[in-house]
Amino acid sequence: MSASRPASEEAFARSVKSIPGGVNSPARAFGAVGGTPPFIASGNGPHLTDIDGNQYIDYIGSWGPHILGHRHPSVMGAIAAALETGTSFGAPTVAEAEMAELVCELVPSVEKVRMVNSGTEATMSAIRLARGFTGRNVIVKFAGCYHGHVDSLLVSAGSGALTLGTPSSPGVPEGCTSDTLVLNYNDVGQLQEAFAGKGEELAAVILEPVCGNMGCVIPSDRFLTALRELCTEHGTVLIFDEVMTGFRVALNCAQSRLGVTPDMTTLGKIIGGGMPVGAYGGRADIMDAVSPVGGVYQAGTLSGNPVAMAAGLSTLRQLVADNPYDRLEGMAERLAGGLLSAAEAAGVPAQVNRVGSMLTLFFNDAPVTDFATATASDTDRFAKYFHGMLDRGIYLPCSQYEALFVSAAHTDELIDQTIAAAQDTLATL
């Protein structure tokens, strides 16, 4: 069984001549699974249609933003109304203030917020602000957590627990990562050791409160509690990167669900409703260190773009009005259970990690709790699974190390259809 995609193959052959790898972000390439990516013509509700006319049940949702599904009427209407007034002014608008007020209302840690244009820009700005606010240089990140293509965060672990990181990408000078310490996610002992040795040097700790970029990996309560206590004790800024989890796993973000309030939060994806948006916010005393109030410089010509603000505001207001989270939880739980049962029936070793409406099926015979256990998964088997599901009309992330997303546009019938496709696919592996 194989879907025909000749138009996509032709489009890809054309693209690779003028775009590196044929894609404008590596996550869209099929490097981890092989083959040619479908080129998408349109999205509607829970579905995508490629340029060959194949329709898919979509579990990517533009990598997270489309929690309401594609082309939600309220969001599309808000975008159309905003376009009637122009596309960008380089001057303040009321929509920016409305967005800031709503984010401050919904996110427990945010007293003030600054809009930017991407999640990468948000994390880069948050790190700079934490350093400027504390007067310190060293930051902590965790192996497997991705925070955008920021030089100081594109770093791999050193040879020991307290060894500062080395660049993991060509083009990043060692000086950019020489003040970045990489620790293991969920490792409380290593965290305590790092603070004992370098606590007075640490400007910030940044992490995904629920990981999505090594697949869905869940933090332990002990890990988060220790992290919050140590940051408070040492005056270190705790930054939750909620670009993926913000308004995804709960209306008030992962921090409300997990019961731990950071000092700063970075946001993206859902707050743009599918348009390019990011934000960073936190305690007022920290945020007031940003120019023009304070001395930490950050700027952006298109930050707070009126069309993006319209899309994001409409999305957030719809989430407040509909509060679809119980239903999302139920559908995602149903999907997770169905995938795990299908794997067990096929005799395929597997684990499913889920928080809210994001989840990952790992081809792994042991629990996945950090980067090391995630990367022990069977990626060859995942590649076969991915293509089997794609051929059966199910559009999944093209990497073992990504989370899939259930949207409010999905239905129980589509979840059952997905589970049936997984049963068929896994039986062939």
Catalytic site positions: 146, 241, 269
The alpha carbon dihedral of 282, 286, 292, 293 has a sign of positive
Please tell me the chain's helix, strand, coil percentages from 3-state DSSP, rounded to the nearest 5.
40, 15, 40
Alpha-carbon distance of 56 to 397, in angstroms, equals 13
Which residues neighbour 186 within 8 Å (Cβ) at sequence distance 6 or greater?
A: 217, 219, 220, 223, 369, 370
C-alpha 16, offset from chain centre: 26
The one-letter code for the residue type at 429 is L
Alpha-carbon distance of 285 to 109, in angstroms, equals 12
C-beta atoms surrounding 353 within 10 Å: 22
Alpha-carbon distance of 244 to 135, in angstroms, equals 29
Residue 348 is encoded by which pair of tokens?
Answer: 């395929």
280-319 in b/e form (b: 16+ CB < 10 A) is: bbbbeebbebbeeeeebebeeebbbbbbbbbbbbbbbebb
Exposed, middle or buried, 328 (CB in 10 Å: 0-12/13-18/19+)?
buried
**CB 155 within 8 Å of CB 168:** yes
Residue 85 is encoded by which pair of tokens?
Answer: 């007034």
**CB 289 within 8 Å of CB 129:** yes
**CB 240 within 8 Å of CB 109:** yes
Q: C-alpha distances in angstroms, 40 versus 8, 27, 80?
A: 8, 15, 22
Exposed, middle or buried, 140 (CB in 10 Å: 0-12/13-18/19+)?
buried
Q: 145, 325, 112, 135: which is closest to 227 by C-alpha?
A: 145
